[in-house]
Structures are given as C-alpha cells and as structure tokens.
C-alpha cells in the first residue's frame, strides 16, 4: 500500500472537492476499502490459493459460465495493474520537475519512458534481490511521509486547514456529490494494496486469522498516516495553490511543504526520497503484476504463451513484456491528459469484473458451497458487502462526469467486450465451455471435507 500515491493525489483530492474538506475523500476511501477488504478476507481465508480474485471468481461462477469470469479478471488485470504502475511514473516525472523546473513536456515523456524501460530491463535480469529492494522502498516511503508530516506540524496553521469555502458541505448540491465520487475514486486508489495478502494465500500461515487482520490493520494504519499527511499539508500550503496547474504545489505538494517550512535544501532531499519511492513501487508492482497472467495460464485460465518462463532467471517473459508496454502507453495517456483521468480509467476498469463480481461471488459461494470451511466470516454480513457494492457503483456511475470528454465508462465496456471476444477465441482453442464440457471443481470444499 505504500507508494507515491498520497504525494500526488492530495492536490487531486482538493481539486475534486474544491477545498480543504477534501479529507472526506480519504475517510470515504478507507470505509470502502474496509468493507471491500472484508469480502477479500472471507474469500481469501476460505480459499487460500495463489491468484486471489481469479481463484474466487473461478469457484463462484464455474456453475453457469465456466471459466469466463476468471478469464475476464485476468484480461482486465492486464490493463489496470500496469495503469497503476504508470501513475507512479507520472508522479516520478512530476516530482522530478521540482528539481529540474525547466524540464519540458518532451523531456518528461522521454525520461518516463526511460524509467519504464530501465525497470523492465532490471526485472529481465532476475529478481534475486527483491526482498532488499522492497525493504528499502518501505523505509524510504515511511521516511518521506514522516518528514513531510513533521515539517507540516512545525508550521501548522489551523486557519488554513479548517477554513472551508461557502457551500463546502451542501449535501443538496450535485456539485458536492460529483466531487465526492471523484474523491472516493482517488481515495480508493490510494488504499489499493490492502488485498495483497489474499493473492499470497497459499504462502500464509493461518490465513483465517492472518488475512482479516492484515487487511484491517493495514487500512486503519494507512488511513491515520494519510489523514495526518493531508491535514498537515493543508495547514501549510493554501489549498488554492494546489488547484492552480501552474503552481508547483499542484504537482509536487510534498516538496512545496518542505520548502515552505524547512527550506529548499530539505525539500530537495525529500524530493529525492519520493523519486526513489516512485521508482521502487513501479519495480515491485510490475514484478508482482507480471505473475497474474502466468499463474492463470498455468492453471489453464488464460492464453498458454503466458505460462512460459525465462530459461535462466525463471520469470514470466510474456507477462512482463506485455505489462511493460501497457505501462508505457498508460504513462503517455496520463502525461497528455492528466493524472486524475488516468486514475479514473484504471479504477473504472477494475469495477465490473473484480470489485462488483467478487462481491457477488461471496454470496454465490455461500449459497453454492455452504459446507465450505470458512475460518473467517464477514462481520455483519451482508452489510459490508452492500456498502462496498454501493461505493463501487458510485465510482463507476460518476466516472464520465469526473472525466468529461474522456469516456472512462465507455472505454471500460469496450475493453470488457474485447475480453469476451478473446475468451471465445481462447475457449475454442482449449475446447472448454461454451465449446466443450463445463468443468466443475469444488477443490477447496473437497480439500476441507477430506
């Protein structure tokens, strides 16, 4: 969950809400993440296999649509995972602009593409030192956040942080709800990663206890950190500066905080730390993301070429290459539109096949496999499911209004339709439903009963 997200989204959140009431977005995002996280917790504890969503979707929807839903999940993951990584590269270039203010559009584009190429090249050479890199990323990220929070606290102005514009909380205004939906989208983007442990269920001891705790504790902990970061930032930098695209506070707000409180030298140091965080998050993200189509292809849920490993370093070549290319395309989209549009696109792509389908899968499995061992059962079921479902629908329903002229809903539906065509081609090649018999495998239920 720790990455460059909060350093680039605070101005976006302020712009969406039109004032310092933007803290609502982080709280709303945390509530959605908690409710959705409980869905992940029950499914992950019941079916602790590698692969996360595609395992749950395969189990729940196999009765009627065979392998369609897990295939579509992998298909959409091939888009939204690298788009998440591309936001990190956009953020990298934005903060680099603080150290190199004369960096132009073309120069920024070339540097961003170079960063992506460097990440792919490093991953192509093997991942023996991934544990150290991940540890360094975590330390640098926490150091960056704590330095910004400490700097903001040293020169905090309650007047700046808690003086709201007229009509800021007018719940009868359509403007408020459009801003709320935009803020909720940005908020859930910042919390993405709370479900990571579910993807590693096969490697976790006592998943029935560990998964729910890891999800809840991480979301609550990150929420506290993000609220301190946002409120502290709003107490130092006037929110109107964050909404001005020509002000450095709109692209490098953490650097602006450090410069205003501790001076230019401290701002430069923290900016370098943020650049390291951005690079490392893209590195680890592409590393993990490239395994999704590999795991699916190995389990005969995706195209077979994606199960091939590098002869020497044993990493999935097709997955890494494909996601590297999509990351580069997403980066250019973000650079030539804006970061908010890129975030809107990736969250919209996630909604139908992963978020909403997985919530439905929880109820389907409770009905289809009532005897499945469930070490953890969702608290207050089905209330968290309903809240999560409504939250994701709000994000999806307001997507076009929050990205006027960009049509994220239409693009997500087009990608889904293309995925259905790809599934038909794959199913014909593999001779599975609807071109072969429907295979029903209640493997986790059989495992637990036996």
Q: What is the pLDDT of residues 317-362, one digit of tens each?
A: 999 999 999 999 999 999 999 999 999 999 999 999 999 999 999 9
- What is the number of domains present in the chain? 1
Q: What is the 3-state secondary structure (H, E, C) of 219-236?
A: HHHHHHHHHHHHHHHHCC
- Evaluate if residue 449 carries a pLDDT over 50: no
Mean pLDDT score across all residues of the chain: 90
- Evaluate if residue 30 carries a pLDDT over 50: yes
Confidence of residue 204 (pLDDT cuts 50, 70, 90): confident
C-alpha span between 233 and 144 (Å, rounded): 13
Side-chain half-sphere CA neighbours of 71 within 13 A: 25
Question: Of residues 196 and 243, which shows the higher confidence score?
Answer: 243
- Mean pLDDT value of segment 218-234: 91
- The domain that holds 122 is classified in CATH as 1.20.1740.10
C-alpha span between 68 and 180 (Å, rounded): 34
Question: Of residues 312 and 27, which shows the higher confidence score?
Answer: 27
Beta bridge partners of 309: 316
Q: What is the pLDDT of residues 246-278, one digit of tens each?
A: 999 999 999 999 999 999 999 999 999 999 989
Confidence of residue 235 (pLDDT cuts 50, 70, 90): very high
- Evaluate if residue 134 carries a pLDDT over 90: no
Q: Are 385 and 42 in contact (CB under 8 A)?
A: no
C-alpha span between 447 and 449 (Å, rounded): 6
Assign residue 206 a region: left if phi > 0, alpha if psi is -120 to 50, beta otherwise?
A: left
Q: What is the pLDDT of residue 8?
A: 92
Q: Hunting for tokens 């023996």 — which residue is that?
A: 128
Confidence of residue 450 (pLDDT cuts 50, 70, 90): very low
Side-chain half-sphere CA neighbours of 333 within 13 A: 21
Query: Exposed e or buried b for every residue in 250-285, given b needs 16+ CB within 10 A?
Result: bbbbbbbbbbebbeeebbebbbebbbbbbbbbbbbb
C-alpha span between 304 and 296 (Å, rounded): 9
- Evaluate if residue 306 carries a pLDDT over 50: yes
Instruction: Give the residue ranges of DSSP H helices in 163-206.
Output: 174-191, 196-199
Q: Are 372 and 46 in contact (CB under 8 A)?
A: yes
Q: Which residues contact 128 (CB under 8 A, 6 or more apart)?
A: none
Q: What is the pLDDT of residues 390-424, one digit of tens each?
A: 999 999 999 999 999 999 999 999 999 999 999 99
Q: Which of 413, 295, 324 is nearest to 82 (CA)?
A: 324
C-alpha span between 7 and 13 (Å, rounded): 11
What are the C-alpha distances in Å from 394 to residues 13, 187, 351, 372, 382? Answer: 16, 13, 10, 32, 18
pTM: 0.91
Q: What is the pLDDT of residues 57-86, one digit of tens each?
A: 999 999 999 999 999 999 999 999 999 999
| Burial (Cβ within 10 Å: 0-12, 13-18, ≥19) of residue 98 | buried
Question: Of residues 263 and 53, which shows the higher confidence score?
Answer: 263
Confidence of residue 126 (pLDDT cuts 50, 70, 90): low
Judged by DSSP in three states, 25 sits in: helix
Q: What is the pLDDT of residues 88-106, one digit of tens each?
A: 999 999 999 999 999 999 9
- Mean pLDDT value of segment 129-143: 76
Q: Which of 421, 429, 437 is nearest to 75 (CA)?
A: 421
In this structure, how many other beta carbons lie within 10 angstroms of the beta carbon of residue 370? Answer: 9
Which value, in Å, is the radius of gyration of the alpha carbons in the chain?
22
- Mean pLDDT value of segment 375-398: 95
What are the C-alpha distances in Å from 103 to residues 7, 119, 150, 340? Answer: 20, 22, 29, 21
| Parent domain of 317 | 5-449
């Amino acid at each position: 969950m720790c990455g460059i997200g909060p350093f680039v989204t605070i101005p976006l959140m302020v712009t969406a809400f039109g004032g310092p009431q933007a803290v609502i977005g982080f709280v709303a995002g945390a509530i959605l993440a908690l409710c959705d996280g409980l869905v992940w917790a029950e499914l992950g504890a019941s079916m602790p296999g590698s692969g996360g969503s595609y395992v749950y979707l395969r189990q729940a929807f196999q009765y009627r649509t065979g392998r369609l839903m897990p295939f579509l999940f992998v298909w959409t993951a091939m888009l939204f995972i690298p788009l998440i990584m591309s936001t990190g590269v956009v953020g990298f270039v934005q903060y680099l602009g603080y150290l190199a203010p004369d960096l132009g559009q073309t120069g920024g584009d070339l540097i961003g593409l170079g960063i992506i190429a460097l990440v792919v090249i490093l991953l192509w050479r093997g991942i023996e030192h991934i544990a150290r890199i991940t540890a360094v990323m975590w330390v640098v990220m926490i150091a960056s956040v704590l330095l910004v929070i400490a700097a903001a606290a040293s020169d905090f102005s309650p007047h700046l942080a808690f003086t709201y514009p007229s009509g800021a909380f007018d719940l009868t205004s359509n403007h408020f709800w459009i801003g709320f939906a935009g803020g909720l989208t940005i908020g859930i983007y910042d919390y993405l990663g709370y479900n990571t442990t579910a993807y590693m269920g096969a490697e976790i001891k006592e998943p029935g206890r560990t998964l729910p705790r890891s999800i809840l504790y991480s979301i609550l902990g990150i929420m506290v950190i993000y609220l301190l970061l946002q409120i502290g930032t709003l107490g130092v930098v006037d929110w109107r500066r964050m909404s001005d695209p020509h002000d450095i506070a709109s692209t490098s707000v953490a650097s602006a905080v450090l410069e205003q409180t501790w001076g230019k030298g401290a701002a430069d140091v923290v900016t370098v730390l943020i650049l390291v965080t951005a690079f490392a998050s893209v590195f680890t993200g592409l590393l993990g993301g490239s395994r999704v189509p590999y795991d699916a292809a190995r389990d005969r849920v995706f195209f077979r070429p994606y199960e091939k490993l590098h002869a020497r370093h044993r990493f999935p070549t097709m997955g890494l290459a494909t996601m590297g290319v999509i990351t580069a395309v997403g980066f250019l989209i973000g650079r030539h539109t804006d970061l908010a549009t890129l975030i809107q696109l990736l969250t919209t792509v996630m909604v139908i096949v992963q978020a909403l389908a997985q919530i439905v899968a929880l109820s389907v499995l409770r009905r289809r496999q009532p005897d499945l061992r469930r070490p953890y059962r969702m608290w207050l079921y089905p209330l968290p499911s309903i809240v999560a479902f409504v939250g994701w629908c709000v994000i999806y329903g307001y997507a076009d209004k929050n990205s006027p002229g960009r049509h994220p809903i239409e693009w997500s539906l087009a990608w889904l339709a293309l995925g259905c065509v790809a599934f038909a081609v794959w199913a014909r090649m593999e001779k599975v439903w609807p071109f072969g018999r429907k295979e029903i495998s209640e493997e986790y239920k059989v495992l637990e009963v036996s």
